[in-house]
Amino acid sequence: MAKYKMILDLDTGIDDALALAYALADQDCDLIGIIGSYGNVLVKQGTQNSLDLLSLLGAGSIPVYEGLSHSSTTSSFAVQPVSARIHGVNGVANLEITHTSTKVASQSGIDFLIDAIHKYKKDLLLVPTGPLTNLAAAIKQDPAITKLIGHVTLMGGALTVPGNVSPVSEANIHQDPEAANEVFQSDIPLTMVGLDVTTRTLLTQHETTIWRNLKTKSGDIYADLVDYYIAAYKETNPHLHGCALHDPLAVAAALEPKLLETVYLNMKVDTQEPYEGRTIGDETRLNLPATTTQVAVNVDVERFVAKFMERLTSLFEKN
Ligand code: RIB
Ligand code: CA
C-alpha cells in the first residue's frame, strides 16, 4: 500500500509532465489529484495537458482541478516567450497529444486542496511545481491548514545560485512573489527545492533513446517531449549539457527527503525591484528558531537519476 497521499500543483509544461509521471510510477505515492496552475502555459492549457497525460499514462481516473489563472497582484496573465521556447507554445513541445474526453473536475482547486488537507492531514504531501498562488490562496481562506498538512515540497527559488528569469529570481517564484512570500512566512512545513539542486540533475538523449527503444506510445511521446526540452536547453543553458529535472526532483524528494541535504532557514521573498522574486534568509527572523522551512543545498544526483529512470521506464513499458 502507498505510504503517502500526494497532490501536485502543476503549470504543465515538460518537466511538470515528468513530475506527473514520477508520482504515478512510485509505489509509495497515491496521487489523489492535480491542481492546474498558470506559468509555462495558461491555466486552461495546463489543466488540459494534465488530463491528457494522465490518460496517456493509464491514470485517467485521477481528478484534475483548475486553480487560479493569474497572480495574486494582477488581473490577467500572459505566457512569457521564454516559457513558450522551453516548453512549446502548448507546454508539451507543440505535440498533438490525444485529447481525453475526461473533463476538469467541477470543484475549485483551492477548495479541493483545503478539503484534502482536512481529510488526510499528516499523510498528505503537496508538491507545487509552478507559482505558489493556489497555496497562498488556500492558506488565506483557511489558515488552519498550515498546521494540519504533512509537508509541502516545492520546486522554486534559488538561494546559492543566480535566478533563471532575472539575476536573482527563479521563474515559479517570479510569477507571484507576494504569494510565495506569504507561503514562506507562514508556519507550513516546507522544503524549497530550487535551482541550487535542480540544475544539477540532468537528462540527455542517452536516456530518451532508452524510452524510444521501448516502442510504446508513452515512451515515444515522453522521448519527444524531453528531446524538445533538451534542444531548448542547448540554446538557453549550453553549459549544462542536458536538461534540468526541476519538477520531478521535487516529487522524488517529497517521497524520499534523504535525497537532499537541506538547511533550516527562515526565508522571505523580495517583492520589489531591484530584487523582486529573490528567495533569501529573512533578516527580521534570523534569530528566531527556524523549524518549518528547509532549503535544499545539495542532492544525491546519482541516486535520484537512477530512481527517476527506473520508475519512468517501467511506467512507459506498460503504456
Ligand atoms: O524554473 C523552473 C520552473 O519553472 C519549473 O517548474 C518549470 O516547469 C517552470 O515552471
Ligand atoms: Ca513547472
Q: What is the number of domains present in the chain?
A: 1
CA 20, 21, 24, 26 dihedral sign is negative
Contact 183, 155 (CB under 8 A): no
Per-residue model confidence (pLDDT) at position 286: 94
Rg of the Cα atoms in the chain = 18
Q: Is the CB of 158 under 6 A from ligand 1?
A: no
Per-residue model confidence (pLDDT) at position 206: 97
Which candidate, 262, 19, 28, places its Cα nearest to that of 155?
A: 19
Per-residue model confidence (pLDDT) at position 198: 98
Q: Whose CA is nearest to atom 1 of ligand 1?
A: 171
pLDDT, one tens digit per residue, over 187-227 is 999 999 999 999 999 999 999 999 999 999 999 999 999 99
| Mean pLDDT calculated for residue range 244-263 | 98
Per-residue model confidence (pLDDT) at position 18: 98
Question: Can you tell me the distance from the alpha carbon of 178 to that of 268, in angstroms, rounded to the nearest whole number?
Answer: 10
Q: Is the CB of 173 under 6 A from ligand 1?
A: no
| Mean pLDDT calculated for residue range 110-133 | 98
Which candidate, 18, 9, 39, places its Cα nearest to that of 174?
A: 39
CA 17, 199, 316, 132 dihedral sign is negative
Q: Which residues pair with 166 in a beta bridge?
A: 169
> Would you say residue 2 has pLDDT above 90?
no
Question: Can you tell me the distance from the alpha carbon of 23 to that of 176, in angstroms, rounded to the nearest whole number?
Answer: 25
Q: Is the CB of 164 under 6 A from ligand 1?
A: yes
* DSSP states along 245-268: -HHHHHHHHHH-GGGEEEEE--EE
CA of 149 to the centre of ligand 2 (A): 22
| Mean pLDDT calculated for residue range 234-245 | 95
- Residue 171, domain CATH: 3.90.245.10
The amino acid that residue 205 corresponds to is Q
> Would you say residue 25 has pLDDT above 90?
yes
User: Structural domain of residue 253, as residue ranges?
Assistant: 4-318
Per-residue model confidence (pLDDT) at position 81: 95
Q: Is the CB of 171 under 6 A from ligand 1?
A: yes
Q: Which grid cell is 36?
A: 492546474
pLDDT, one tens digit per residue, over 71-117 is 999 999 999 999 999 999 999 999 999 999 999 999 999 999 999 99
| Mean pLDDT calculated for residue range 25-34 | 97
> What whole-number percentage of the chain has pLDDT above 90?
99
Per-residue model confidence (pLDDT) at position 1: 83
